[in-house]
Structures are given as C-alpha cells and as structure tokens.
Amino acid sequence: MLPPAILPAAVSPLSPTLPPNETLVNASVAISIPRFYFPKGLPASFTSLKGTITKIEAAFTDFEDEKADICDMGKIAKASGCPLYWKAPMFNAAGGENTGFVSVHSFIAMWKKLLQMCHDDTSRFLYLLAKPGSNCLEQEDFIPLLQDIIDTHPGLRFLKNAPEFHSRYITTVIQRIFYTVNRSWSGRITLTELRRSNFLQTLALLEEEEDINQITDYFSYEHFYVIYCKFWELDTDHDLYIDQKDLARYNDHASSNRIIERIFSGAVTRGNTVQKEGQMSYADFVWFLISEEDKKTPTSVEYWYRCMDLDGDGILSMYELEYFYEEQYQKMEAMGIEPLPFHDLLCQMLDLVKPEFDGRITLRDLKRCRMAHIFYDTYFSLEKYLDHEQRDPFTLQKDTENDGPELSEWDRYAAEEYELLVAKESANDPLWEDSLEDNYETDEVVIPRVTKQDENIDHL
C-alpha cells in the first residue's frame, strides 16, 4: 500500500507575501483628509474670539447705558479689531440705522453671528455692507460707508457746508470702486473680486492719512473735482445728462464720432443698468473719462474693445479696424496731413499687437502686447495718435516695460488738470462766472475745493 500523498498547502496567487510584523490594511478604510479650502477665511481659535468679545464689552462700558451712537462706533470698531471706517457698516448691521443707537447686547449678538460665518476681513466686510442674504455688493450698498467718510474724515471737513455735493462725490467714488474691482462687469462685486482688489487696504489708509488727496485710488477729492468739472463743462443745461454732441466736445472733439456712437449704443453698459436712450449719465461719464485718459488699465482695455467689436463676436476683424480708421483718415486729409493707407497701417498694428491668429485681434492679444493704448489711439483718438507718431519708438517701448511705482496715466492726468482748473478759477474764468448764474437742481453755485486754509486747519 502506497503512503498517502503529501500535498502542499494551497497558496492563493493573489495573496502577497508580507514581511514579518506587517499587516495588510483593508483598502476600503476611509482616509481622513483635513479641510484645506476656506472660502471665507481660516476660523480663529475659540480663545481669540472670546478675547475679542471681552474687548468689545469693555469698550461699551464707557458709554451711558452701554449704548453707542454713530459717533461712538469708531471705538467699537477698533475694539473689534477692524479699521476705523468700518464703523458705519457695523453700526447699521447691528440695527443702529433704525434705532439711532446700538446696545452692547445687540452688537455682540450680531458680531458673534458674523464671526461664526466669516473668518477674514474680506468676508466680514462683505457681510456688513451687503443686503441680508446677499453674497455680493451692489452700488447702493456703499452709500452709508461713503457718507460716513464725508461726515468724519478730516480731509473732507470743508464739504460740511456743501451737502449738495455729497451725492456727487459718493457717485464718483462708487463708480471708481466698480471700475477697478468689478472685473466681471456684472454690476455686483463678489467676494473673490473684493479679495483680489486693493480696496480694503486703501480704505484702511484713510485712518492714517488726513490728506485725502494722497489716497489717489478711489477717494481723492481732487480727482472728483477734475471729473465733475469736466462733466460740468459738457452738461450745458445742467440736468446731469449729456448727449452725443455734448460728449463730442470733450477735449476739443478729440474722440471720433464713430467711437462716440458706439459708447451711446450700449456697448459698455454694465450689469443690469439701463442707459437712458441717447443720454449719458454722470456715472457713465466717470467710466468714459478714466478710460479715455488711461488706456493701459485692464478695464480700459476691455471698455474700448467692447466699443470696437461692432458685431459682438469677441474678435476685431479687419473690417472693423477699417471702419474706425476711415474717419481718422478723412480727418488727417482735412488737416493737410498725408495719412497712411489702411493696408500699411494694418501691417504696423499687426506688428504692434502680434495676434495669436492671423486676420483677427482678440482681447487677450491686446492685453498681452501691453500696447493697447497706442492701438486704440490709432483708431479713434487722432491727437494722441499723432503724438505717438512723433515720439521715439524706443521711448514708447521703455514706457511699456516700466513696471515701477510711477504715477499711472490717470493719476498724472488728474494732477495736471487739477492745477489747470484751480488756475482758471483763480483767474475768474468764465466757466466759474457762468456757474454763479446757473440754477442746478440743488442750487449749487460753485464746486468746493480744498484751500490752503483748509489744509492749515487740519494741522491745528
């Protein structure tokens, strides 16, 4: 009898051989990954939040019945760890707009709710300014903030006796904010747009700088003065609207009629704004003027691209370029200047822009080449085009490559124009004599400006 066969133990071919002291882990076990995306900021520690609440409670003890009015809110804002000029939005968010005061209990209840949802300055600011339940900022949301700046900033003290100009200054600042921050042209500033901008940093500077004209981004009164005076010169009937003929007179008919027609066509209407047919409001003029005098900014490049894109297909065709150059060509002939034939000019522009695809120019091409201002002036700003033609091309290239902290084209223009306007006023220019006889809707007679006396008062 044969002995039973000795068979080897069955070994699964899929079972790996493990080194000693190691265990196979089931692949179905979930791996815990810490949260890494915080759209409203990284939450602060409980200790930090408790410390902030304690500081706020202590600040309220300085006020009668632990109630703060709008004049007291600066101290509450600082106790909350916020910039000074957040005080009006904080006051309103806690119910002060309705009652005229904020109690310690109502403010802390509001602030705790905010801290639970918003964990960085950007999200907190948007929460304070926006309408309840909204996740974006609309133009009217900025009005209380800006009115408080007018009422309390030392650099605007002289406006106290000119309330009719408060709304004009506020309109100007709001348009400048949306011009720079609202990159989507939606008419609503999102959290991402606000975070990518310098607005909150600039707002914080108001606390440190008494001369508001040193804050050239958004808030400069001198910049408002220039913009409003330019509008006043064109708005001959003073109804706060101008038509195509009025705008054509800007800078001695510097812009072509065809580009002005495009502006009034609604090509640069933003968000849900409805343009009054055949009319441009003061708010729209702010966008025009900044775009005209500084064609290097992203918004300006987009502004003029929308105007030149006649069919709205996102591409500038050779037909569209010829359409705008035709008027420039005729103007130069009338001036006795021999113009370049369109084909020759087109070759120059294509060499300048270097488009990605032959036969068409995109917005991306113009932003990438960094020479959009020269391109646009060629087609609808004749005086500036001729100025470019007379300049050394190496100088133009150097200007384009300069990324230093020099004044922007807009800042330079506003500074020069302000000096000219002040000189005209001092010399009793007819513009200012006429303004004494004109009846505006608010009966203003002169546009207030900062004087040396005002500057001296600030230092007392």
- In this model, does residue 4 exceed pLDDT 80? no
Helix axis angle, 409-426 to 221-234, nearest 10°:
70
Q: Look up the CATH architecture of domain 45-117.
A: Orthogonal Bundle (1.10)
Burial label, 401 (beta-carbon count in 10 A; 0-12, 13-18, 19+): exposed
Mean pLDDT of 375-382: 98
Reply yes or no on whether the pLDDT at 122 is more than 50.
yes
Would you call 212 exposed, middle or buried from its count of C-beta atoms within 10 A (0-12, 13-18, 19+)?
buried
Mean pLDDT of 88-100: 96
For residue 434, pLDDT over 50 is answered with no
Evaluate if residue 443 carries a pLDDT over 50: no
> Which homologous superfamily is 295-407 in?
EF-hand (1.10.238.10)
295-317 pLDDT, tens digit per residue, is 999 999 999 999 999 999 999 99
Decide if 45-117 and 295-407 have a common fold: yes
pLDDT recorded at residue 51 = 87
Q: Token pair 């917005």 is at which residue?
A: 363
Q: Measure the CA dihedral 276/278/279/283, to 10°.
A: 70
Q: What Å distances lie between residue 303 and 17, 74, 203, 257, CA to CA? A: 68, 39, 26, 17
| pLDDT higher than 60, residue 46 | no
Higher pLDDT, 274 or 203: 203
Q: Tell me the pLDDT band of 437, cut-offs 50, 70 and 90.
A: very low
pLDDT given for residue 277 in this prediction: 80
Write out the H or E segment, with its range, that includes residue 440.
Answer: none
Rounded alpha-carbon distances, angstroms, from residue 19 to 9, 12, 151, 331: 19, 17, 77, 88
Q: What's the burial of 37, exposed, middle or buried (CB within 10 Å: 0-12/13-18/19+)?
A: exposed
pLDDT at position 397: 59
pLDDT score of 362: 98
| Distance in angstroms (rounded) separating the CA atoms of residues 224 and 176 | 10
Burial of 56 (0-12, 13-18, 19+ CB in 10 A): buried
User: HSE of 377 in the Cβ direction (CA atoms, 13 Å)?
Assistant: 18
Q: Which residue has the higher pLDDT, 184 or 451?
A: 184
Give residue 21's pLDDT band: very low, low, confident or very high (50, 70, 90): low
Euclidean distance between CA atoms 217 and 229, whole angstroms: 19
Q: How many CB atoms lie within 10 A of CB 339?
A: 15
**Could you tell me the residue ranges of all domains in the chain?**
45-117, 295-407
Of 410, 456, 448, nearest to 216 (Cα)?
Answer: 410
pLDDT grade for 457, boundaries at 50, 70 and 90: very low
Alpha-carbon distance of 187 to 116, in angstroms, equals 28
pLDDT grade, residue 17 (50/70/90)? low
pLDDT band at 427 (very low <50, low <70, confident <90, very high): confident
CA-based angle 159:199:46, to the nearest 5? Answer: 115
**Integer Cα distance of 47 and 42 in angstroms:** 15
Which pTM value belongs to this model?
0.84
